[in-house]
Structure 1
Amino acid sequence: MADLGRRGALVLALGGAVALSACRQGSSGTDGDKVRTDVAPLERRFTALGPLSDAHWLGIVMGSDSRVQAPGPTDVRVVGLARLRAGGVATLVGAPQWDFQPAEPDQPPGVLAQFIPKGARWVRSESFDSAMASDADHGTFSFDPGTDTVYFDTINPSPASSSGP
């Protein structure tokens, strides 16, 4: 009888470990280390940038490295680079309402560092950043006019209301 009790406890412990492992693996909606190259999700969220190409970006579930997953809303960091149409950055940077100034972007996640243009001369505008983010979102957008590249680092960027979910 004592052996059956130990076996039962062992089976319960192993079953619980397997169940927790399965829940943990399924809790992340995105793979934070997988570099994505699709532009459609970015174009839906950053409509003011126009058509994009040559994208390299990550969707990182915030707090997914924690051992305990809390129920409720989840923040997602969308960070990466993309190329605007030829002359697109010059058009944005030249608009006087934005007041772009030289500013280096934050250090990108390691897997994206290889996509940063060599010799980039980054500019950024706090007013442009504010215009791109809704009340619940946060983001910074740095531009290199020489390569028509944007580096974006955002939290919960929402699709434009006219583009659907």
Structure 2
Amino acid sequence: MGGFADLGRRRALVLALGGAVALSACRQGSSGTDGDKVRTDVAPLERRFTALGPLSDAHWLGVVMGSGERVSAPGPTDVRVVGLARLREGGVATLVGAPQRDFQPAEPDQPPGALAQFMPQSARWVRSESFDREMTSDADYGAFYFDPGTDSVYFDTINPSPASSAGP
């Protein structure tokens, strides 16, 4: 009977080692630097932030939250979309000029390191909490800072959804 017990222990050991290898592979895959890769495409941003109009000179990151050092459980994943872009000329003045939005001077938090070099040096950022709510009604969080001098927007959002008419 000892032979069956030894065989069972060996299988358990092989399964445990296989599981450890699989978890290690998942960890390595999730802790890569894809979240640090600065993207410059504007189409995904324009689908999610339609009120901003056409964008250019985008530099942004899409970071899967919870990836990195720990293995996360399967299920819904939060994605942080953070970056900056330029609106068409005069676009920021049009947005911040709407009296119902009550834009006020505000400084964004320190941007992720990969984006710091793209921040306008002498920006005079303004922000409106009512505009943030308007832009992120279905998202977990969103903050939009505008610089009228450069027609730039700095955004920091979690789970921004495409506008219903924009498709996936």
Q: TM-score range by the shorter chain?
A: 0.7 to 0.9
Task: Choose the corresponding residue for 1:138, options 132, 138, 141.
Answer: 141
Does the residue aligned with 1:111 lie in a helix, a strand or coil?
coil
* Length-normalised TM-score, structure 2: 0.86
Runs of 5+ in structure 1 lacking a partner?
none
CA distance in 2, matches of 1:10, 1:143: 58
CA distance in 2, matches of 1:148, 1:80: 14
Aligned residue for 2:89? 86
Count of aligned pairs = 162
Alpha carbons 2:87, 2:153 under 8 Å: kept: yes
In the alignment, structure 1 residue 41 sits paired with structure 2 residue 44: yes
CA distance in 2, matches of 1:89, 1:51: 12
CA distance in 1, matches of 2:40, 2:138: 27
Note the 1:42-121 alignment, pairs <5 A: 42-121=45-124
Does the residue aligned with 1:150 lie in a helix, a strand or coil?
strand
Measure how far apart 1:9 and its partner are: 8.5
CA distance in 2, matches of 1:83, 1:134: 22
Runs of 5+ in structure 2 lacking a partner?
1-6
Percent identity, please.
88
Pick the structure with greater CA Rg.
Answer: 2
* Length-normalised TM-score, structure 1: 0.87
Measure how far apart 1:65 and its partner are: 2.3
Alpha carbons 2:88, 2:151 under 8 Å: kept: yes
Measure how far apart 1:63 and its partner are: 1.1
What residue identity is the alignment partner of 1:55?
A
Measure how far apart 1:28 and its partner are: 7.4
- Ranges of 4+ aligned residues in structure 1 off by more than 2 Å: 7-18, 21-30
Note the 1:150-161 alignment, pairs <5 A: 150-161=153-164
Does the residue aligned with 2:115 lie in a helix, a strand or coil?
helix
RMSD after superposition: 2.4
In the alignment, structure 1 residue 32 sits paired with structure 2 residue 35: yes
Measure how far apart 1:12 and its partner are: 5.8
